[in-house]
Amino acid sequence: MAEEQGRSRLGRGLAALIGDVGEEIGAIERARGQRRVPVEFLRPSARNPRRNFAEEELDDLTASVRERGILQPIIVRSIPGMLDAYEIIAGERRWRAAQRAELHDVPVILVEADDREALEIAIVENVQRSDLNPMEEAAGYERLIAEFSYTQNDLARVIGKSRSHVANTLRLSKLPEPVRALVSGGAVSAGHARALLSVSDPELMAKRIVEQGLSVRDIERIAQDEARGETKSAVAAKPKPEKDPDTRALEKALEEALGLSVVISHRPSGAGEVKIAYRTLEQLDALCRRLKA
């Protein structure tokens, strides 16, 4: 009972930490006090649920930071045994942008938080700002459950989402790893991913989503047909479009050069897109370095 009361109090405290920007800054400044510290004093957290930082988004934020500075303080906590060193709880993207903008110092809010509280704050901040991809969100929820014995009701209350949202997000972790990679990379949406949980071969269907542009409703119809014991539906029977040899050769050449899965799609108008799937942040960093070079 004491633990549940503690969680409830923390949930109300998080509302002050993660509310609207103006309310957040005002509430925290009154309660904790704001300060500025050199950029090099901050350290990213290994427990940050967010793993992917899109280059384009970082570029946009860097331009804004260079023009106006950091408007919203970075939430940090002290690192035991280290002088003038702080672990970022929420705001790593702002810190990265500040480094790119060559700022000397940044505004921070120093809070006292244990590992559980720090993880909660990080998840809530990212979820409320839609900064996490669905797989990162699921991984954050799983960590709170595994490490701190949270129930789905606890998560729903603290995160500010419905219990069904929490349950559906957690279910995404049951998808095959290749499908999870596509979801993390944005090639497959969260709605598609939830629908894939009901089909017999999620990996195959995920590839069809990428290559053929199947909608969520298409996947749901296929799942319903499978549940009724039918082997074909209008969507399932739709033939996979054949790619010309030149396109297949180019895909293969790019895959060999990058070491990543590449899909090239053409439209009748002459436009098209190239989709590159990566599985780890290291692969993304390597890809960005290649593109910049």
By annotation, the residues acting in catalysis are 92
What residue type is assigned to position 44 of the chain? Answer: P
- Residue 164 and residue 176: Cα distance in Å, rounded? 22
User: Residue 37 belongs to what H/E stretch?
Assistant: strand 34-38
Question: Are residues 129 and 93 in contact, defined by beta-carbon separation less than 8 angstroms?
Answer: no
CB-facing half-sphere around the CA of 78: CA atoms within 13 A: 6
User: Residue 289 belongs to what H/E stretch?
Assistant: helix 281-292
- Residue 166 and residue 191: Cα distance in Å, rounded? 14
Name residues whose C-beta falls within 8 Å of residue 158's C-beta, 6 or more positions apart in sequence: 7, 10, 11, 14, 120, 124, 150
Q: 3-class DSSP state for residue 115?
A: helix
What's the distance, CA 157 to chain centroid? Answer: 20
Radius of gyration of the chain (CA): 22
